[in-house]
Amino acid sequence: MSDDINLSLEYVEKLLAIKNLDLSIANGEETQLILNDISFNISVGDRVGLIGQSGSGKSMLARAILGLNNHIKHYSQTGQIVWMGGEAPIDLGVSKDDSLQRIRQKKIGLVFQQSAQVFNPTQSIGKQLLEKLGAKKNRKATILRGLEEVELVPSDRFFCAYPHNLSGGQLQRALLALALINEPSLLIADEPISALDSVIQDQILKLLKKIVDRRGAALLVISHDLGQVFELCDKVIVLENNTIGEQGPIERILQDPQTTLTKGYLADHVSTHGVMMPSDVQEVLVAIKDISKVYRKNSSFIKANNDLHVVFDKYNLNIYKGEILGLYGKSGSGKSTLARMILQLEAYDSGQISYADKDLKSLSKQGLKAFRSKAQIIFQDPFSSMSPHRTVKQHFEDVGYTSGRAMNENDALTALKRVGMAAEHLHRIPKQLSGGERQRVLIARTLFMKVEFLICDEIFASLDVLAAQRIAALLRDLVKEEGLTLLFISHDMKVINRLCDRKVSLDR
């Protein structure tokens, strides 16, 4: 414990005090500054939002609080991270004993963005909660109550379920139960709902707020989505240019925004007009005729049944060359299923899908390969779309090989610069990129391939509002300048209205 930790009355109600924190990573002879002179406090009952653009260091700061950055090569951290929620203050930045581990286990709960990567797929949810709870009496009863608190009922069935049995929203609830099982004083939620559709997002937000209020715990929400932070939190901290650009109560920030991010958020909520589609765009690029798709519901851990789920019944849709078509609908309406069927990644029971007047089902193996070199999809989760061990340059080489195109580093750099990235990113692997940077790499990769038809499936989910605005402007430019045709899938009607020429709902 540092000798200079202040024990004055100003800290009595505080759980966490961060003072003059600097984070950096040495890169050869240069040092990359991640965060500079970060100072803020979290008190009992506070609901604090930490926001910033993609790559601003939000998640690095959260991991620093829990001492999870120490494994990073050439990582440096100075300043104080003082935990005040115990009998005596502990500087987590210099703690050498088991104090940090004990605080991580008992005092601070963490909800990650990717719940599927947290849970062990070979163990039941109940077993993993038992391991986190440790040696306590009535452990199963405690866990069942915890599952009920996050509205996973009947709790005994979810206790026995495995991660693959749960939907995305259910997995996030289970992760919330895992973080809360030891009744922490502070809950850190790092992008807890960005991978979920709008309906489930709203449910998880309300649940999180209700639980935190009921328990009286403090909450630190890390997000790129200011709307979520403003709905959930009382105070906000905005990171800009490697430091705190502004912080304070939500009301004051909204009335007098000082940073580019908060000003952009307010502007984004004022201007939601759509782009007008030229009247002369008539050529059909993708024709979907009488498509039918039915899933058979096999036995599940909750209920055995053989019911049929009709996703599409003789569905028809034309996508015109050079347009941006917005496709929206609630979770389970078939948005992503339709995208996969267009690219022949998923079979359909009947009907026809044509691209440039060619029936895609009739294509030979070589013909299908040629089609996929012209038509690509960018999925919602950028991390699962990239090999974790290959650099950005190697990802460009991979798509060049599969599309029969030689790798040209200058073309790759040009594509990266189009999406606002630098040459240095070419030699990084995915874990060295933020979520927004990974998404931009995927967009750059499609530019490198010179695709004609692009499907974007919830690609703004991991981007802050300014990054989303830049990518939206880039997509509009590509449609206009290079004749790209875009199918844009989203649950966010504000984005659909602003970006797309036409919009189609799959809600029935």
pLDDT given at position 252: 85
Q: Judge whether 9-270 and 322-347+358-505 match in fold.
A: yes
pLDDT given at position 149: 92
With a cut of 80, say whether residue 384 has pLDDT above it.
no
How many CB atoms are closer than 10 A to CB 283?
12
Q: Which CATH superfamily is domain 9-270 in?
A: P-loop containing nucleotide triphosphate hydrolases (3.40.50.300)
Residues 458 and 495: their CA atoms lie apart, in Å, by: 10
Tokens 């240095």 — which residue? Answer: 424
Lowest mean pLDDT among 142-146, 246-250, 447-451: 447-451
pLDDT given at position 443: 84
Q: Which CATH superfamily is domain 322-347+358-505 in?
A: P-loop containing nucleotide triphosphate hydrolases (3.40.50.300)
With a cut of 90, say whether residue 148 has pLDDT above it.
yes
Which residue did the predictor score with more confidence, 241 or 405? 241
Dihedral of CA atoms 397, 464, 58, 112 in degrees, nearest 10, equals -80
Tokens 């991978």 — which residue? Answer: 195
- In our burial notation (b when 16+ CB lie closer than 10 A, e otherwise), range 455-466 reads bbbbbbbbbbbb
Domain ranges of the chain: 9-270, 322-347+358-505
pLDDT given at position 362: 92
Q: Please, which pLDDT band fits residue 286 given cuts at 50, 70 and 90?
A: very high
With a cut of 90, say whether residue 116 has pLDDT above it.
no
pLDDT given at position 498: 83
- In our burial notation (b when 16+ CB lie closer than 10 A, e otherwise), range 224-239 reads bbbebbbebbebbbbb
Contact status, residue 39 vs residue 244, Cβ threshold 8 Å: yes
Tokens 């005729």 — which residue? Answer: 289
Work out the average pLDDT over 192-203: 72
The gap between the terminal CA atoms of the chain, to the nearest Å, is: 60
Single out the residue of 325, 463, 439 nearest to residue 379, CA to CA. Answer: 439
Q: Is 240 exposed, middle or buried (0-12, 13-18, 19+ CB in 10 A)?
A: middle
Contact status, residue 13 vs residue 43, Cβ threshold 8 Å: yes
- In our burial notation (b when 16+ CB lie closer than 10 A, e otherwise), range 380-419 reads bbbbebbeeeebbbebbbebbeebebeeeeebbbebbebb
Contact status, residue 466 vs residue 264, Cβ threshold 8 Å: yes
Contact status, residue 125 vs residue 162, Cβ threshold 8 Å: yes
Work out the average pLDDT over 137-141: 84
Work out the average pLDDT over 424-433: 87
With a cut of 80, say whether residue 135 has pLDDT above it.
no
The most confident of the ranges 102-106, 286-290, 309-313, 334-338 is: 286-290
pLDDT given at position 306: 54
Give the pLDDT confidence of 308-358 residue by residue, as tens digits.
778 899 999 999 998 999 998 877 788 889 999 999 999 999 999 999 999
Give residue 302's identity as a one-letter amino acid code.
I
Q: Say what the pTM is.
A: 0.61
